[in-house]
Amino acid sequence: MTETKSSFAPLTAYSPRKKAQSFVQKDSVVIEGVDISGQWNKMFDAREITSYDLTHMDKLTAIPGAESMGWCYQCAQCIPACPVDNAGGDYGPRKIFRRLQTGVDIFNHSDMWLCTSCQNCVRVCPKEVDMVQIMPAARAAAVLEGNVPDELVEMFQNVSEYGNPMGQSARKRVKWTRGAGVDIRILPKDAQPVDVLWFVGDYYAYHDRGNDAAQAMARVFSRLEIDFGILGADERCDGDSQRIAGEPGLFEELARHNIEQFEKYEFAKIVASGPHAYNAIKNEYPKFNGGSGFPIEHYTQFLSQHLDRLTPLLTRPFAKKVTFHDPCYLGRHNGEYDAPRKLLQAVPGIEFGEMFRCKQQGYCCGGGGGGMWLDGFAAEHQTERLSENRVKEAIQVGAEVLAVCCPYEVSRFEDAVKSTDNDGKLEVLDIIEILDQCME
C-alpha cells in the first residue's frame, strides 16, 4: 500500500508549513451539460490554518521553560479548571494555544498577564502543559522587550527601590510591632539565637489588615512561649510573585538579600506568614545558596504541630459558620491542605464547612503570579474579579466567616465582599486572627 500524502498539514505548531499545491481553475467548466464555471476551485486550497503566521508560537516555545505550550492538543480540560475563564476572562491554556496558532502575538497581548499561576490547569492537563513554568519564562521575555502593564511596572519599581510592593520605607517595616502588646525581638538589634525566625512578609508588615494578623501572630507565639525573632527593617519582599510576573533578576536580588540576612543568625527554622514566601524560601531560594536551603514552614504547619499546647489556650468560643479558602501556593503548589483545617477544627464552637471548590480543586483568589497588582488590567479583560467569584461561593454555602491564611487574601476578599454588595454578610479573617480572638 502506498502512503497517502495529505495536502493538509496537521494542526500542531510543529507541522511542516508547506502550502498545498493549488488546483488550476479552468475558465469554463461544463459537466453533464451544466455550466459550473466559477471561483469554486478555491476550496482545494490549503485550509486557512496552515497559512497562519506561527512566528509568535515558535518564539514562545523556543524560550527555555515555555516549551510545553506547544504540547497542547486542544482537549480543553483546562478551561473549566481555569479561574480566569470562570470569571469571564475567555482564558486558559487551550485558548492561548489556539490564539498563538492563529498568529496572535502573545508578547503584545493581554493573554500574557492574566494567568495567576494557580496551577489548577496543570492538575488536569494530560499533556503536561505547565503554565507555572511557561508564564514566568514568557513574561521575563516580554519584560525585557518593555511590554509590561503599567500597574506591574509600578510594583516592580517599588520592590526594586524599596524592597516592598507598596513603595514604603524599609524603616517602617517594624511599625506594626508597636501595637502587638507583646515583646518582639528584632534580630538586627538583638542577635541572640532563636528557635523561630519569623518571616513576616510585606502585607503583614505594611497593610492595615495585615498588621492585625501580624499582631495576632505575635500574641499567639507569645502565649505559646515560642522563642522567635524577626528581621525587622532588613527583611525584604520574598520576590516569588515578582519572579512569576516576569522579573527573575529582581527575584534573585531579593533572594540573595534575604539569604544573606538568614545567614547572619542562629535559628532552628523559618516560619513564614505567607504561602508565597513559604514557596520561595522552600523551593527557589536553595538555588542561590548552594542548594542547601533553610528549614521552613508555613505558620499553619508550624502551629498545627503545637496543637497540644495551643488547644487548651483557645478558651473563648467562636460560634460562627466558617469556611476556608485554600491558598494556591500552600495547597496545590506545596500539597498542604490539612494544617489550616486542623487549626480551624481546634477552634471552640466553630461550625466548619467546605466550599464546593476546595483542596486540590480550590479556586484562586486572583492575587498570585502578579495578579495582586493587576486589578485594573484584569478588570478590563474579565467580567468579574476572581475574589468576587470566590466570596459569592462562600456566601452560597452559608458561611459567616471566610477564613484565609495568605496575606494577599484578607484585603482582596474584603474588597470583593463590598464590591459584590455583600457588605456585612461575610467576615474575612486570617486563621491567626481567629486563634487570637479565642485566647483570653
If the CB atoms of residues 156 and 302 are measured against other proteins, the closer one turns out to be: 156
Nearest residue (CB) to other proteins, 79 versus 170:
170
Can you give the binding site for other proteins, defined by CB under 8 A? Answer: 140, 143-144, 146, 148, 150, 153, 156-157, 160-162, 167-169, 171, 247-250, 252-253
Closest distance to other proteins from the beta carbon of 73 (Å): 34
Q: How far apart are CA 161 and CA 123, in angstroms?
A: 36
Q: How far is the CB of 385 from other proteins (least distance, A)?
A: 24
Closest approach of other proteins to the CB of residue 361, in Å: 35
Closest separation between CB of residue 282 and other proteins, Å? 23
> Shortest Cβ distance from residue 160 to other proteins (Å)?
6
Closer CB to other proteins, residue 118 or residue 254? 254
Please give the biggest Cα pair distance in the chain: 102
Strand order through the sheet with 321-324: 351-352, 321-324, 401-404, 427-430
Of 140 and 174, CB closest to other proteins: 140
**Min CB(135)–other proteins separation in Å:** 16
The closest alpha carbon to 135, from 103, 100, 111, 170, belongs to 111
Amino acid, single-letter form, for residue 2:
T
Q: 63 or 313, CB closer to other proteins? A: 63
Quick one: 58 or 150, whose CB is closer to other proteins? Answer: 150
CB 101 within 8 A of CB 54: yes
Q: Least distance to other proteins from the beta carbon of 392, Å?
A: 30
CB of 206 to other proteins, least distance (A): 12
* Residue whose CB is less far from other proteins, 17 or 287: 287
Q: What are phi and psi of 229, to 5 degrees?
A: -145, 160
Q: Are strands 228-230 and 194-199 parallel, antiparallel or unpaired?
A: parallel
Given a contact cutoff of 8 angstroms between Cβ atoms, the answer to whether 164 and 158 are in contact is yes
Which is closer to other proteins, CB of 146 or CB of 290? Answer: 146
